[in-house]
Amino acid sequence: MALDRDVVADGLLDDLDRFEELVRSIDPAEWDRPSRCGGWSVGDVARHVVGTLADVIAGKMDGLGSPEVTAREVAERAGCSPTELADECAEVRKAVAGMLPLFDDAAWAGDAPGSYEGTLGDGVEALWYDTWLHADDIRAALGRPTETGTGIAGGVSHVAFELRKRGWDGEVPTDGRMEWILAATGRAETLPGLINIYAD
């Protein structure tokens, strides 16, 4: 993992705070608005993000990120309002903040639990990326501007990590990083020489 451990841990907590604020700001009338994540509403995206972190806290690592697990995370929170989901996000964030300091350097550099291919640190970075990028999915659906914040660093690092696992040997951009992330995750037209990390 390219990013420093403190950068990743602090970035995840910061973006969880921002995600809670975002969800709390959503009008219930906007909850069912379609997002750019195929078949998912704004509410579904929020349910997945909070559900993923709740699963991590509960130790439910098997299949994390798979279509089956994400569908369960969404279904389990189907009746939640934006306020209720924001409240759960705050609780999850508190638990994450308590968990992160428990990992020493050896654990951080060791294998991630569950089926994730990477170190524990890579896995935490993936959670940061997921929280940050899905917040942008929600903002895009609601017509709000992108807020890159520090999360774009985690996004670039994670996407590059996933691309290289698939044999990509291109250069990570210094400009146009948001467009590059959107292209590499299937949210925008693929750029020359770039692949979609979610394509089969």
- Structural contact between residues 80 and 26, judged by C-beta atoms closer than 8 angstroms: no
User: Can you give the pLDDT at residue 199?
Assistant: 86
Q: Write the pLDDT tens digit of every residue in 35-92.
A: 999 999 999 999 999 999 999 999 999 889 899 999 999 999 999 999 999 999 999 9
The alpha carbon of residue 170 and the mean position of all alpha carbons in its chain are separated, in whole angstroms, by 23
10: which 2 tokens?
């602090």
User: Can you give the pLDDT at residue 115?
Assistant: 81
Q: Report the predicted TM-score, pTM, of the whole model to 2 decimal places.
A: 0.96
User: Can you give the pLDDT at residue 116?
Assistant: 87
User: Can you give the pLDDT at residue 193?
Assistant: 87
Give the CATH H-level superfamily of domain 5-184.
Answer: dinb family like domain (1.20.120.450)
Q: Write the pLDDT tens digit of every residue in 110-120.
A: 999 888 899 99
pLDDT of 133 strictly over 90: yes
User: Can you give the pLDDT at residue 153?
Assistant: 96
- Mean pLDDT computed over every residue of the chain: 95
pLDDT of 200 strictly over 90: no
Q: Write the pLDDT tens digit of every residue in 148-174.
A: 999 999 999 999 999 999 999 999 999
Domain residue ranges of the chain, discontinuous segments joined by +: 5-184
User: Can you give the pLDDT at residue 3?
Assistant: 92
Per-residue pLDDT, averaged over 185-200, amounts to 90
State the SS3 of the chain: CCCCHHHHHHHHHHHHHHHHHHHHCCCHHHCCCECCCCCCEHHHHHHHHHHHHHHHHHCCCCCCCCHHHHHHHHHHCCCCCHHHHHHHHHHHHHHHHHHHHHCCHHHHHCECCCCCCCEHHHHHHHHHHHHHHHHHHHHHHCCCCCCCCCHHHHHHHHHHHHHHHCCCCCCCCCCCHHHHHHHHCCCCCCCCCCCCCCCC
